[in-house]
Amino acid sequence: MAKSKTKYVYFFGDGKAEGDTKMKALLGGKGANLAEMSSIGLPVPPGFTISTEACEAFQKAQKWPTGLADQVDKHLKRLENATGKTFGSGPEPLLVSVRSGAAVSMPGMMDTVLNLGLNDETRDAMIELTGNERFVWDAYRRFMQMFGDVVLGMEHEHFEEALQKVKDKHGAKLDTDLDVDGLKQVVAEYEKVYKRQKQTFPQNVKDQLRKSVDAVFGSWNNPRAIRYRELNDIRGLKGTAVNVQTMVFGNMGDDSGTGVAFTRDPSTGKNTFYGEFLMNAQGEDVVAGIRTPEPIADLRKHNRKVYKELREIRGKLEDHYRDMQDFEFTIERGTLYMLQTRTGKRTAVAAVKIAADMMKEGLIDEKESVLRLDPRQVDQLLHPWFDQDAEGKAQQVGKGLPASPGAATGRIVFNADDAEKQADDGKQVILCRIETSPEDIGGMHAAEGILTTRGGMTSHAAVVARGMGKCCVAGCGELTIDYKAKTLSADGKTFKEGEWISLNGTSGVVYAGKIDTVEPKLTGPFAELMKLSDKYRTLGVRTNADTPHDVDVAVRFGAEGIGLCRTEHMFFEGDRIVSMRKMILADDEDGRRKALAEIEPRQRDDFIGIFKALKGRPATIRLLDPPLHEFVPHDSEGQKQMAEAMGISVKKVRQKVDSLHEFNPMLGHRGCRLGIAYPEITAMQARAIVEAAYEVRGAKAEIMIPLVGNVKELAHQKRIVEQVIEEVKAANKGKKAPPIKIGTMIEVPRGAVTADAIAAEAEFFSFGTNDLTQMGCGFSRDDAGKFLKQYVEEGIYDADPFQSLDRDGVGELVRIAVEKGRSANKALKLGICGEHGGDPSSIAFCHEVGLDYVSCSPYRVPVARLAAAQAVIRHGDASKAARKSKKSSSKSATKTKKRSRKAGSKKSARKSAKKSAKKLSRKRSKKR
Length of the chain: 928
Query: Where does residue 266 rank: exposed (0-12), middle (13-18), buried (19+ CB within 10 A)?
Result: buried
State the amino acid at position 199 in one-letter form: Q
Pairwise CA distance, residues 399 & 15, whole Å: 45
User: Are 619 and 704 contacting, i.e. CB atoms less than 8 angstroms apart?
Assistant: no
460 catalytic per annotation: yes
> Residue 326 — φ and ψ, nearest 5°?
-115, 115
**CB neighbours of 216 closer than 8 A, spacing ≥ 6?**
98, 99, 100, 110, 111, 112, 113, 240, 242
Closest CA to 252 of 139, 340, 143, 147: 139
Per-residue b or e along 475-488, where b marks 16 or more CB atoms closer than 10 Å to that residue's CB: bbeebebeeeebbb
The neighbour count for residue 736, using CB atoms within 10 Å, is 8
Given the residues 460, 716, 836, 847, select the one marked as catalytic: 460
Instruction: Give the side-chain half-sphere CA count within 13 A for 407.
Output: 18
Q: Among residues 471, 476, 565, 833, which one is catalytic?
A: 833
Q: How far is CA 116 from CA 139, 211, 213, 765, in A?
A: 10, 11, 11, 64
Q: Is the dihedral of CA 165, 169, 172, 175 positive or negative?
A: negative
Percent helix, percent strand, percent coil in the chain, to nearest 5: 50, 15, 30
* 803 in Cβ contact with 788 (< 8 Å): no
CA quadruple 485, 487, 488, 489: dihedral positive or negative?
negative
Strand 47-50 and strand 240-246: pairing? antiparallel
Give dist(CA 423, CA 410) in Å, integer.
10
Query: CB neighbours (10 Å) of residue 340?
Result: 22
Give all strands (DSSP E) within 520-601, no chain letters: 540-544, 562-566
Coil, strand or helix at 13: strand
Residue type at 462?
A: A
Q: What's the one-letter identity of residue 140?
A: Y
C-alpha distances in angstroms, 431 versus 465, 481, 488, 718, 802? 11, 12, 11, 55, 30
Catalytic residue annotation: 460, 833
